[in-house]
């Protein structure tokens, strides 16, 4: 890693010589709020994904318009001016749910008693950088954030890791927060699920709300497996299996999977920027369903800590499974039949995650 990159990592993991904190306008809590404010942290707060997500949070899309939020924004010192600008814009929106906004580079200020942590900030892959280098750089970042969560956060904190490689970054974070339950740490694969749902809806010519239980298995990478074998589509008032509704196994087992796997790269090629807004939207979806619950009979894809008992995945990986959520807790859906072709795909993405874990944690 270069000296510049090393310095940036040192800043991000909290070794800050001159941390600062700034506050947005704290409005009087409206009388129609009966709920206690939830403390929500967004890291990488000056980045594009964070810039999109903070306005969605302010609009109540994550926890509802009846839930007041104390918003914390964390980034490195070089981004302090940008954070100030974001706070100014949030103030100008006059979002009722935002009872306070704090921008900071100080870990204690950011993480203290936080209820929800959206770990978005991560070192992106640069020219000539190998995947191993990226894992090494981000291991330092997420180890520092894990330690901060362990020391300062609520014991009931919910963590969603967005910064890539998200699954392994979530694993690193959890490994550095031994006092928190492993169930507190998740990685976002909801963007992949949303992409898959959209592809099916377009193919069958139905609204996206008519597509159910498409699953993303494994890693948020090109080895992920978008699985339609347990999903259905509402067609002409009838709930129909996706394979029957699409009636093209060649497309479902080929182009559909690769389009979902390669969608991020395709968006970068098209607009010369990463898919920030759709990632922010998916993170909001992830947290909303985790906190408020999934609809009856609906699965959501979440990277969660594997228990060693589900679908042949070894314990100790953050792996994307179909989950249901109730009372703020996620649960892996059990008992789905996995055919031989699907199992091979699950094994491929499992192997990749095992290799990432070894590179990042040495075991």
* Residues classed as catalytic: 220
Q: Which two tokens stand for residue 211?
A: 């597509």
CB neighbourhood size of 129 (10 A): 16
Which neighbouring-strand residues pair with 22? 103
CB neighbourhood size of 89 (10 A): 13
Number of residues that make up the chain = 363
Closest CA to 197 of 184, 182, 212, 187: 212
**How far is it, in rounded angstroms, from Cα 190 to Cα 54?**
18
**How far is it, in rounded angstroms, from Cα 61 to Cα 114?**
19
Q: Which two tokens stand for residue 14?
A: 């909290």
The alpha carbon dihedral of 309, 262, 61, 188 has a sign of positive
């Amino acid at each position: 890693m270069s000296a510049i990159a090393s310095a940036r990592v040192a800043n991000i993991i909290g070794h800050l010589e001159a941390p600062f904190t700034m506050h947005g306008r704290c409005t009087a809590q409206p009388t129609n709020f009966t709920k206690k404010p939830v403390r929500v942290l967004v890291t990488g707060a000056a980045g594009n994904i964070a810039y999109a997500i903070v306005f969605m949070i302010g609009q109540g899309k994550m926890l509802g318009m009846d839930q007041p939020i104390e918003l914390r924004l964390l980034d490195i010192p070089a981004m302090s001016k940008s954070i100030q600008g974001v706070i100014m814009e949030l103030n100008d929106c006059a979002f009722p749910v935002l009872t306070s906004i704090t921008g900071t580079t100080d870990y204690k200020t950011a993480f203290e008693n936080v209820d929800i942590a959206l770990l978005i900030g991560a070192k992106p892959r640069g020219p000539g950088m190998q995947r191993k280098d990226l894992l090494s750089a981000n291991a330092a970042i997420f180890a520092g954030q894990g330690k901060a969560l362990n020391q300062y956060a609520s014991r009931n904190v919910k963590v969603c890791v967005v910064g890539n490689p998200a699954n392994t970054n979530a694993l690193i974070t959890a490994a550095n927060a031994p006092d928190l339950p492993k169930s507190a740490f998740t990685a976002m694969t909801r963007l992949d699920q949303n992409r898959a749902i959209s592809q099916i809806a377009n193919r069958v010519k139905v609204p996206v709300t008519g597509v159910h239980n498409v699953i993303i298995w494994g890693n948020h990478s090109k080895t992920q497996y978008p699985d339609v074998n347990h999903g259905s589509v509402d067609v002409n008032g009838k709930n129909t299996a996706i394979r029957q509704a699409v009636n093209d196994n060649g497309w479902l087992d080929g182009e559909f999977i690769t389009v979902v796997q390669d969608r991020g790269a395709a968006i970068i090629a098209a607009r010369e920027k990463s898919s920030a807004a759709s990632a922010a939207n998916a993170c909001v979806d992830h947290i909303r369903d985790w906190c408020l619950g999934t609809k009856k009979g609906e699965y959501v894809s979440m990277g969660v800590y594997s228990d060693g008992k589900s679908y042949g995945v070894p314990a100790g990986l953050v792996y994307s499974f179909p989950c249901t959520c109730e009372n703020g807790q996620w649960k892996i859906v059990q008992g789905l039949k996995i055919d031989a072709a699907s199992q091979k795909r699950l094994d491929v993405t499992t192997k990749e995650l095992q290799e990432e874990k070894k590179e990042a944690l040495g075991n």
